[in-house]
Amino acid sequence: MSDSDGSIEPSAALRAAAAHTWARLEPGRGQPLGRHLSLLAEAEPGPAPALWTDARAMLLSAMLVARARHDALGDGVELVSRYFDSGRLIRPAALSGAARSGLFAAAAEYCAAVGWPQVGGHYAAEALLFAETPGQRYRALSVQALSLGLNAEYPAASRAIDEGRQLFRTQRWGREDTSHCLLLGDGMFAVSRADSVQLRIIADELEHAQPLDPYWLYSARMLRVGASFLERDIAAGLAETREMLHGSMRSRSFRIARDLALGLHADMLTTFGEFEEALAVLSHAVTHPGHVVCFPMQRAGTLLQMGREREVVESTNACVALHDEHCLRTLTPLLTRRAVAFLRLGSEKRAVQSMEAAVLLIQRTGRSVTPFLMIPFGDTERLFDLVSARNADLAPAIALIRQALPDLAARSTATGHLAALTSTERELAHLLTSTLGLPEIARARNVSLNTVKTQVRSIYGKLGVSSREHAVEILRRSHE
């Protein structure tokens, strides 16, 4: 049987699964059944109805949530665009407040899952506007906390987290009713503060709330890896991420958690000086629209450590051109890494502009310190001096960031003799540590062999050596 709008009438089993799932999306009502979520995640939602009713809204809500919670994200954000235009339903609606709040909350959860928190935050605000009960409000606050946390809107995220947690305590719901969205949003806030202790606390909460749910357990492990990275326990973190990324558990995990774990894995490899492996890990990584996890930004951190500044700029130009389509949380470190690249390439004006833009964003979005995690301390200090001289109003924000830098900044790869190398020479120096001969290096760099020999002699002079063997020894020691 078909409806007047041409859509196929859902089966009785699908309607029953949707009704059961909808009733358990709010705390205090039990958890949706896994088999219902699986059924709903595989179902075709169909076109927008001619008129939105509570029944249709509840069915779509359950389907969106099922897809978000079972990582069925193949349709991307286009699925939401089928029913909404600029955050509004594209067809007339006769909806109760509960149905409308639930539908917007489901859209927000799905958007956050596919990696578009900028859009998800808008739907979460609409869900909060129409919430009529404590349960509806808690659900709306939870998806709002996640969207804002993922998009680095930390002051607003913190307010949503605090209100959601307070409401949870006041209503005395059981810990099994805790929202995964709220906890993950709280985790993003803890990362912004480099608070490894809080990350481990949140990981414990995830495990205790749903000890049998592999999706929740994977998220908990990802947060613990983040804590290990902040604590510089790199060996333990790498062992964990290797198991997470290559083990069977990854088949039942959230895409965001997998992508974040992959980014952490690459950063830890870079910290260990395993640059080529880090780039290889990232070579097949897909950056989805919204850029909640931005792999060009991740690659930029590794390329900086390798002295490949031109590639940093060239590979991130498309990202900075996205404007409001790029997640703020990953845009800020993108700007800081580009600033370092410009500085090393001798373009001081562009370097200062990029770092100033980054500091302004950090100041407005809650003063996160994570954009400086993969940048050598000396580069950041020099840029801060230049920005402070240009814009005195940013000096207080810069002073606060400086306090955390010694513990968070990446090690410098241009100390001693290496500091004297130009950006071109640093790129060539990296190739000298490979097995390539000088003719092969010349072809790779698209220059003549004589040019390479001249540059190599200059590098030898600055390193104080007379052979490639001794030069490689110094270059490799600088990364230990």
pLDDT tens string 124-140: 999 999 999 999 999 99
Q: So what's the pLDDT on residue 399?
A: 87
| Token couple for 403 | 């306090």
Ramachandran angles phi, psi of 89, nearest 5°: -60, 135
Percent of the chain clearing pLDDT 70 (strictly above): 94
Phi first, then psi: what are they for 254, rounded to 5°?
-80, 140
Within 10 angstroms of residue 266's Cβ, the number of other Cβ atoms is 26
Q: Is the pLDDT of residue 2 over 50?
A: no
Residue-wise pLDDT for 15-44, tens only, equals 999 999 999 999 999 999 999 999 999 999
CA 112 to chain centre: 11
- What integer is the mean pLDDT of 110-127? 96
Q: How far apart are CA 98 and CA 132, in angstroms?
A: 7
Q: Is the pLDDT of residue 479 over 60?
A: no
Q: What is the pLDDT of residues 225-261, one digit of tens each?
A: 999 999 989 999 999 999 999 999 899 999 999 999 9
Q: What percent of the chain has pLDDT over 90?
A: 70
Q: Residue 462: CB partners within 8 Å, gap ≥ 6?
A: 417, 420, 421, 425
Residues in the chain: 480
Question: Which residues have C-beta within 8 Å of that of residue 403, sequence separation ≥ 6?
Answer: none
pLDDT on residue 477 = 67
Whether 412 has a pLDDT exceeding 80, the answer reads no
Q: Residue 409: pLDDT above 70?
A: no
pLDDT at 206 over 60: yes
pLDDT in tens, 311-354: 999 999 999 999 788 999 999 999 999 999 998 888 889 999 99
Give the model's pLDDT for residue 263: 97
Q: How many CB atoms lie within 10 A of CB 332?
A: 23
Q: Which residue has the higher pLDDT, 418 or 118?
A: 118
Tell me the C-alpha to C-alpha distance, in Å, between residue 391 and each of 4, 339, 342, 382, 404: 62, 16, 19, 14, 21
Question: Which range among 62-76, 200-214, 296-310 shows the weakest confidence by mean pLDDT?
Answer: 296-310
Could you tell me the two tokens for 308? 């490949």
> At 291, which helix (H) or strand (E)?
none
- Lowest mean pLDDT segment, chosen from 83-87, 219-223, 462-466: 462-466
Please state, in angstroms and rounded to a whole number, the distance separating the CA atoms of residues 64 and 37.
Answer: 10
pLDDT band, very low/low/confident/very high, at 53 (cuts 50, 70, 90): very high
More confident site: 219 or 378: 219
Residue 9 has pLDDT above 90, yes or no: no
In the block, which residue shows the tokens 């149905």? 99
* Cβ 432 vs Cβ 471: under 8 Å: yes
Q: Which of 156, 73, 126, 125 lies closest to 328, judged by CA? A: 156
- Between 403 and 186, the higher pLDDT residue: 186
**Tokens standing for residue 286:** 């897909």
Here the tokens at position 264 are 């952490």
Mean pLDDT, the chain, integer: 90
Helix (H) or strand (E) holding 229: helix 214-230
- What is the average per-residue pLDDT within 185-199? 95
Yes or no: say if 324 and 121 are a contact pair by the CB < 8 Å rule: no
Q: What is the model's pTM?
A: 0.84
| Phi/psi at 383 (5° precision) | -65, -40
pLDDT digits (tens, 9 = 90+) for 413-470: 544 456 667 767 877 887 888 888 999 988 888 889 988 898 888 888 777 677 888 8
pLDDT computed for residue 1 by the predictor? 32
